[in-house]
Amino acid sequence: MQTVGIRGRFFSFIRAPKGPGDSGSYLYLRDGMLVIQDGRIVAIGPTNEVEGTLPPGTIVTHYERELILPGFIDTHIHFPQTQVIASYGTQLLDWLTRYTFVEEQKYYDPAHCTRQAAFFLDELLRNGTTTAVAYGSVHPQSVDAFFTESEERGTCMIAGKVMMNRNAPLGLTDTVETSYADSKTLIERWHKRGRQRYAVTPRFAITSTQAQLEAAGALLREFPDVYMQTHLSENLDEIAFVQSLFPDSKNYTDVYDRVGLLGPRSLFGHCIHLNEEELQRMADTSSVAVFCPTSNLFIGSGLFDMASTEKSKRPVRVGLGTDVGGGTSYSMLQTAAEAYKVLQLKGQNLPPATAFYMMTRGNADLLSMGGEIGSLECGCFADFVVLDSKATPAMLHRMETIGDMIEEELFVLMTLGDDRAVRATYVQGRKLHDRNLA
Ligand code: GUN
Ligand code: FE
């Protein structure tokens, strides 16, 4: 069994921080060593304690000035939108029609799927993201290509074929029966094969009939440990359209609730305009609202209200996602920076420790994957990102005034950092991205 050592500065959360300066929430090793066997972390601690335990001849890579964190986790992104990102001038429903639905039709072609999946996964890794919850296109071959490429890289990915049977071009629609059968085949083929996981993926209420949403609910009952992802309450015109399509529903959330789509493994993108009753249902069912700040700003959807998710006795669980191609960056650092600014406009706050918790351990816990990913504990997969806080002149110059103050350094990383700040990305202890070799 081959042992690999990584030496450097390490930062990883033990639990959620209660606010700025809560140093009990994380482990920060100024000179630490991480030991990897068979793709998993088997030891982590101060170098002077761990070094002596290494088998003779162990190769140790030393990162002298970087900061090593668990790989980032993106809980909402669209793999067929790599060529939709940065499309000009529209809001949600027009944006879908004019750009997204045009591009997604190309995923009929398996060769196109493979090319785009390879680009997409490499771009995630270049940005330090090692796990993502991704939408495919309506075509099952998009998901086959995506998981095949993920398996090759050894990454842990969650994805699903979009189910959509109305209000979309013919080339992008399935039926109740084919969406159920194709999803089921993909679940049986991919769910829990190695590190791959399936998410039942009705796109959103506008593009599914009641019968198709019921089929999605049936899949969740049949396969209780798969995930579910969809969009919820992103844009005011969307909400009005949903209300007209489902006049008997109390509200948008209720459309999904009635067919059994809420629950602890269910991720709802956006959730910008939920009322109190909807937030309460989200909380009661342990459903997850995913905050997608760059997308919400770019498509002009609105400002996510973090405080409203904390009002009920049990808070709504909140994840962080890029939502590329509505989102404008693959970088979770940039996503956190925009989340900070959105909350500033709401008179709310996002301490850097909380932002980094969300990107790592927090998102892992939302996926019930704590202990597997999102932290640098023994037993976790050795998926980690090597960050350079001095990657650009502006960062270097700012860091001169900060020195060894970890939370301030994290804030510089998220505010000024992007893919340039990612020195290297490792998956199962294998270096899959190296900025200096790219
Ligand atoms: N709602 C339904 N589909 C989409 C999508 O592809 N992106 C975003 N941002 N919202 C959606
Ligand atoms: Fe989305």
CA geometry: angle 42, 45, 436, nearest 5 deg: 80
In a domain, 317, yes or no: yes
pLDDT band at 438 (very low <50, low <70, confident <90, very high): confident
- Listing DSSP states for 241-306 in one string gives HHHHH-TTSSSHHHHHHTTT--STTEEEEE--S--HHHHHHHHHTT-EEEE-HHHHHHTT-----G
What pLDDT does residue 80 have? 98
What pLDDT does residue 313 have? 83
Atom of ligand 1 nearest to the CA of 207: 2
* Same domain? 19 vs 164: no
Q: Per the structure, how many domains does the chain have? A: 2
Question: What average pLDDT score do residues 29-41 get?
Answer: 98
Which of 83, 91, 92 has most ligand 1 atoms within 8 Å of its beta carbon, as the pocket-test mutant?
92
What pLDDT does residue 230 have? 99
Which of 133, 204, 256 has most ligand 1 atoms within 8 Å of its beta carbon, as the pocket-test mutant?
204
Which of 74, 76, 85, 100 has most ligand 1 atoms within 8 Å of its beta carbon, as the pocket-test mutant?
100
Provide Rg for the chain, Cα atoms: 21
* Same domain? 58 vs 77: no
- Considering every ligand atom, which ligand is closest to the CA of 80? 1
The alpha carbon torsion through 81, 83, 87, 91 (nearest 10 deg) reads -20
* Same domain? 140 vs 16: no
DSSP state of 307: G
In a domain, 289, yes or no: yes
pLDDT band at 1 (very low <50, low <70, confident <90, very high): confident
* Same domain? 123 vs 170: yes
In a domain, 354, yes or no: no
* Domain containing residue 235: 72-330
* Same domain? 304 vs 405: no
| ipTM surpasses 0.90 | yes
Residue 430's beta-bridge partner residues? Answer: 427
In a domain, 353, yes or no: no
User: CA 134 to CA 229: how far, in whole Å?
Assistant: 9
Query: What pLDDT digit, counting tens, does each position of 262-274 carry?
Result: 999 999 999 999 9
* Same domain? 84 vs 218: yes
* Same domain? 91 vs 206: yes
What pLDDT does residue 403 have? 87
In a domain, 340, yes or no: no
Residue 234 CB less than 6 A away from ligand 1: yes
In a domain, 401, yes or no: yes
Question: What average pLDDT score do residues 375-396 get?
Answer: 98
* Same domain? 290 vs 303: yes
Residue 191 CB less than 6 A away from ligand 1: no
Whole-number average pLDDT of the chain: 97
Question: What average pLDDT score do residues 53-57 get?
Answer: 95
In a domain, 400, yes or no: yes
Domain boundary among 271, 303, 330: 330
Question: What average pLDDT score do residues 101-106 get?
Answer: 98
Domain boundary among 272, 295, 330: 330
* Same domain? 302 vs 402: no
Half-sphere exposure for 35 (CA within 13 Å, toward CB): 18
In a domain, 369, yes or no: no
Domain boundary among 271, 297, 330: 330
Which domain CATH number covers 124? Answer: 3.20.20.140
User: CA 153 to CA 69: how far, in whole Å?
Assistant: 19
* Same domain? 52 vs 149: no
Q: What residue owns the CA closest to ligand 1's atom 9?
A: 326
Q: What residue owns the CA closest to ligand 1's atom 11?
A: 231
* Same domain? 159 vs 194: yes
Query: What pLDDT digit, counting tens, does each position of 115-174 carry?
Result: 999 999 999 999 999 999 999 999 999 999 999 999 999 999 999 999 999 999 999 999
- Considering every ligand atom, which ligand is closest to the CA of 268? 2
